[in-house]
A = this chain, B = another copy of it.
């Protein structure tokens, strides 16, 4: 439960920062109620969240946006660059490779993996694609801590196990089969199928 709570907080801080990047173009300070409004939250929640990054604004002027971004970044981001691998270079995997490229300064995508001989050895969106058999060696050589799974569903469990055995500590799983909870490993499920089925259900 504590983990769940803090996951939500990380999501909110991530969102605050993205909104602050936009806001800083037009102003220097922001009040908690204004930040709440553009981040689908409420002012009390915003103030509680920002207390945990160790920055309190002034009651008169609100938060200094530049300083606030710096405090959120110090809290959220890894101290050094973290290496990331993606397993499964199909349509979704390739979209993620591109999506990823120009966004995360502190995350460095070092390799993609697939079993398809047409992809192995090639460069996909600027990232080299290896055979999945090389997963363990690349992960340990490059000291990779974050792994993305975008294979088809039958491979999910095997890939997750290989990742963890090789040293991965955070998994983002885009397949429609959930990765079983593994002690000490953070697993984020992005369940696109469920999102579509929910959207369909709530049109009723």
Q: Which chain A residues have a beta carbon within 8 Å of chain B's beta carbons? A: 7, 10-11, 14-15, 18-19, 22, 39-40, 76-78, 82, 84, 91-92, 94-96, 98-100, 103-104, 106-107, 145-146, 153, 169-172, 176-178, 180-181, 186, 188, 190-204
* Cross-chain contact A170 with B200 (CB below 8 angstroms): yes
Closest residue to A154 on the B side, CB-wise? B22
In the complex with contacts A91-B99, A98-B91, A200-B78, A176-B18 CB distance below 8 A: yes
Whether A203 pairs with B186 at a CB distance below 8 angstroms is yes
- Say yes or no: A201 contacts B10, CB within 8 Å: yes
Does B200 lie within 8 Å of A107, measured CB to CB?
A: yes
Measured between alpha carbons, how far is A200 from B11 in the docked complex, in Å?
Answer: 12
For residue A168, give the distance in angstroms from its CB to the closest CB of chain B: 9
**A202-B169 contact in complex given A99-B92, A194-B14, A195-B190, C-beta closer than 8 Å:** yes
Per a CB cutoff under 8 Å, which of B76, B92, B186, B194 touches A15? B194
Indicate whether A78 sits within 8 Å of B18 (C-beta atoms), given known contacts A107-B196, A196-B107. no
Pairs across A and B, CB under 8 Å, 7 listed: A11-B198, A14-B193, A78-B201, A99-B192, A106-B200, A169-B203, A172-B196
In the bound complex, residues from chain B placing their C-beta under 8 Å from that of A98 are 91
- Does A77 lie within 8 Å of B198, measured CB to CB? no
Chain B nearest Cβ from A31, distance in angstroms: 18
Contact B15–A178 (Cβ < 8 Å)? yes
Contacts of A15 in B (CB 8 A): 176, 178, 191, 194
CB distance from A199 to the nearest CB of B (A): 4
Residues on B with beta carbons closer than 8 Å to the beta carbon of A146? 196, 199-200, 203
> Please, which residue of chain B has its CB at the minimum distance from the CB of A197?
B14
B196 adjacent to A100 (CB under 8 Å): yes
Chain B residues within 8 Å of A191, by CB: 11, 14-15
User: Closest approach, in angstroms, between the C-beta of A91 and any C-beta of chain B?
Assistant: 4
Verify A186–B172 contact, CB threshold 8 A: no
